[in-house]
Structure 1
């Protein structure tokens, strides 16, 4: 088994007044040649956007983009004609494919919006752009790893153009989960949304990231009430 540990305080930082962002991997003005990606996982940004502010219309292409709101309401508009609001408990996905424009704005005037923006390198280029979003049932997350993303349209959650699987779990103190990889050639990157965990003898805390590969099973133990995001991705992108 190989591992890589990204402590929360080692992430790249961007502060623009209206936006505070922590980058687990190289992004924009943050560059670290040792932290370009984890396999097909290219971007993991932990963003806080001030009330009423946001990202103006900008382009993307040939990337699978997943947004996971943690607090507040995020308004989305795109060149496909979608105007939606995503909030805590929602999962949003866009296949940028041949090219899209979109904007994101804090819908609220009285509180921050906090969300994760994740980019996955696709296994198909120049696909037709698409958009989807779902709302999770919080009961499905309790003391289990609940699938929120896969490559399969018939599975629970959203789907993307990549052999990747995402799970969210809200684990009570003492709960143990054993995760078996879909493909032993893949790796798993776990992001601690809240709490304290031990994963394969590594102590982890809020906003730490931990990657594991060259293994087929991972043991996760909650040392306090915790919430995690688990991402299984190909290690070649």
Structure 2
């Protein structure tokens, strides 16, 4: 029996584009609204942002929330709470923001466009410090890597790069938890669903999730949301 879930197709995301940024939003964000693109559990932002060389953009926190920034190509500089953060590929920056705080996110390169994922999770209770996490796909091929995990976090973040026909199984910590998975590159079959680059999939009421890569260098990132 097919496990309950919802697919968020890449070509149905919201698009905001100007001379500085091209932003694809999986969920409703700022001027993009669609009644079928409401937040999934506490995950209310999943943006795929590309910033032009030397340009910057801003984010105003409208909720007490945790934010993850994961560069896909290049790196980003972030200014938050009078602190500066530099994040490169192979790293994820976690920032804890209070309602009303503003982030400045910039592309430090003079001639290259950069691309990063921005995830936002509503967080009213857990006290989580700003932290930088690193991972290495090259040393851990064909498996899901724990990037952020532990009792103090209200979520778990994993990712992996796979060769074609390689398989993986993700076991949720609790059946009451839910999983949001996003294909960065390539194609996967996930619980009988065919997923392509930049597609997202929300799953719930399950204990484990099976993945099969359908192309080489297929990359997936998973966010388990705790109850």
TM-score, normalised relative to structure 1: 0.88
The answer to whether residue 138 in structure 2 is matched with residue 139 in structure 1 is yes
- Provide the residue aligned with 2:74 in structure 1: 72
**Alignment partner for residue 194 of structure 1, among 175, 185, 197?**
185
Q: Is contact 2:14–2:24 with CA below 8 Å preserved after alignment?
A: yes
The answer to whether residue 89 in structure 2 is matched with residue 88 in structure 1 is yes
Q: Give the number of equivalent residue pairs.
A: 224
- Provide the residue aligned with 1:18 in structure 2: 20
Residue 167 of structure 1 aligns to a residue whose secondary structure is strand
The answer to whether residue 108 in structure 2 is matched with residue 117 in structure 1 is no
- Provide the residue aligned with 1:53 in structure 2: 55
d(CA) in 1 for partners of 2:139, 2:121: 25
**Alignment partner for residue 212 of structure 2, among 205, 217, 221?**
221
Q: Is contact 1:192–1:208 with CA below 8 Å preserved after alignment?
A: yes
d(CA) in 2 for partners of 1:130, 1:184: 27
The answer to whether residue 174 in structure 2 is matched with residue 183 in structure 1 is yes
Q: Is contact 1:65–1:95 with CA below 8 Å preserved after alignment?
A: yes
Residue 224 of structure 1 aligns to a residue whose secondary structure is coil
164-173 or 92-101: bigger deviation: 92-101
Gaps of 5+ in 1: 154-159
TM superposition shift of 1:72: 1.3
Residue 139 of structure 1 aligns to a residue whose secondary structure is coil
TM superposition shift of 1:106: 0.4
TM superposition shift of 1:59: 5.0
TM superposition shift of 1:228: 0.2
TM superposition shift of 1:32: 1.4
Q: Is contact 2:53–2:107 with CA below 8 Å preserved after alignment?
A: yes
Q: Is contact 2:27–2:44 with CA below 8 Å preserved after alignment?
A: yes
**Alignment partner for residue 207 of structure 1, among 179, 198, 206?**
198
- Runs of 4+ off more than 3 Å: 56-61, 97-101
Q: 1:6 to 1:59 in 2, by over 3 A?
A: closer
TM-score, normalised relative to structure 2: 0.91
- Provide the residue aligned with 2:6 in structure 1: 4
Q: Is contact 1:60–1:96 with CA below 8 Å preserved after alignment?
A: no
